Amino acid sequence: MGDILHALPAVTALRAALPGSWMGWAIKPQWSALLQASGSASSSGRSPQMPVVDRLHLAAVEQWARRPLSAATLREISTLRRALREEQYDICLDLQGAARSAWIGRMAGAARMIGEAEPRERLARWFFSERIATQGRHVVEQAREVAEAVLHQPLPSVPAALPHDPEAEQWCRQWLAERKIERYILMNPGAGWGAKCWPAERYGQVALEMSRLGYGTVVNVGPGEERLARQVCAASAGHAIAMIGSVGQLIACARSARLFLGGDTGPLHLAAALQRPVVGIYGPTDPARNGPFATRARVLRHPESRRDHARRKNPEAGLLTIRVEDVVQEMQELLQEEEATA
């Protein structure tokens, strides 16, 4: 999810520079709602429900990895390759920098295959016909530099475009109304792996403090994180309410939130892409590279926290030094700034 959202500003800018071009995106099925509203009539054609690309190519790579030699996997890969070839793409951008994404991009048979000179996975660079030496520190900046190679010139500065899903937006309005929630904070206590996760109990204490300031709290968690949501809600003395919905419903709820609170995880980058105010709680990942981008934001991180992508179970030590009162103060100041400029 985060990789797509980090790439989206560059692709949106490319769309603005080339409004008449035909653009496709190869994407895992579970993240397609980031590009196309669920229930849209077609998988092709731009609209508010599908604002950036013209075509989605679904690549169920995780399923393929579980059964790589099965007839079904080989058939699906062949179908994807044929669909990519049929579009006759002139250029392919790999904005993820993974060997798998580069391999899928190469399937398209485009004359120009563009990626970073130093991608996330070094093997990926051997698929590229053009290797771009990026200078930006943030991954959003790096993706933009790769995309600018298409026209060999700077791209326009435009916000990332995410789909509007009328059904999801109606669901969100009704869900909030039934719970009598008006002004609210959206928080996500999960963060991929344990070392990035600030304790659930502290998120709950933040929700309790924000309730005293007149804000409700909606807690979003991913599949399998229901227990985490319960812990947050229990620690909030009932002032936080869990919302476990689809990606489209999360987009709708993030759009109307007053502020987002969370760690380095997909929903934080979603809130930033929607230009919502963000307070990020960071530990072993570097906010200069992966922090909230192009939105009003505050980041809390202990100065001795070191960059470490090891999938450790327990919270990183520096993360535990961040206090509830520090987080609440940053949230208050950010909300006051937002209200002053509204």
The 10s digit of each residue's pLDDT in 26-78 is 999 999 999 999 866 555 567 899 999 999 999 999 999 999 999 999 999 99
| CB-based contact 264:290 (threshold 8 Å) | yes
Global pTM? 0.95
What value does the mean pLDDT take over residues 194-209? 97
Q: What is the mean pLDDT of the chain?
A: 95
* pLDDT score for 313: 87
What value does the mean pLDDT take over residues 297-318? 92
**Domain coordinates in residue numbering, the chain:** 2-148, 166-341
Share of the chain above pLDDT 70, in %: 98
* pLDDT score for 44: 56
Tokens matching residue 86: 């049929």
Fold matches, 2-148 and 166-341: yes
Give the single-character DSSP code of 198. Answer: P
pLDDT band (50, 70, 90) for residue 138: very high
Tokens 């001795």 — which residue?
Answer: 304
* pLDDT score for 222: 84
Three-class SS state of 259: strand
CA–CA distance, 242 with 209 (Å, rounded to integer) = 17
| CB-based contact 192:265 (threshold 8 Å) | yes
* pLDDT score for 130: 98
* pLDDT score for 223: 83
* Sequence-distant (≥ 6) Cβ neighbours of residue 179 within 8 angstroms: 216, 241
186 has a pLDDT exceeding 60:
yes
Higher pLDDT, 309 or 2: 2
CA–CA distance, 253 with 175 (Å, rounded to integer) = 10
State in words which class domain 2-148 has: alpha beta
The 10s digit of each residue's pLDDT in 284-303 is 999 999 999 999 999 999 99
Closest CA to 287 of 196, 222, 216, 173: 196
Closest CA to 204 of 152, 239, 256, 166: 239
* pLDDT score for 309: 83
* pLDDT score for 46: 77
C-alpha 268: how far from its chain's center?
Answer: 7
276 has a pLDDT exceeding 90:
yes
Architecture of the domain spanning 166-341 = 3-Layer(aba) Sandwich (3.40)
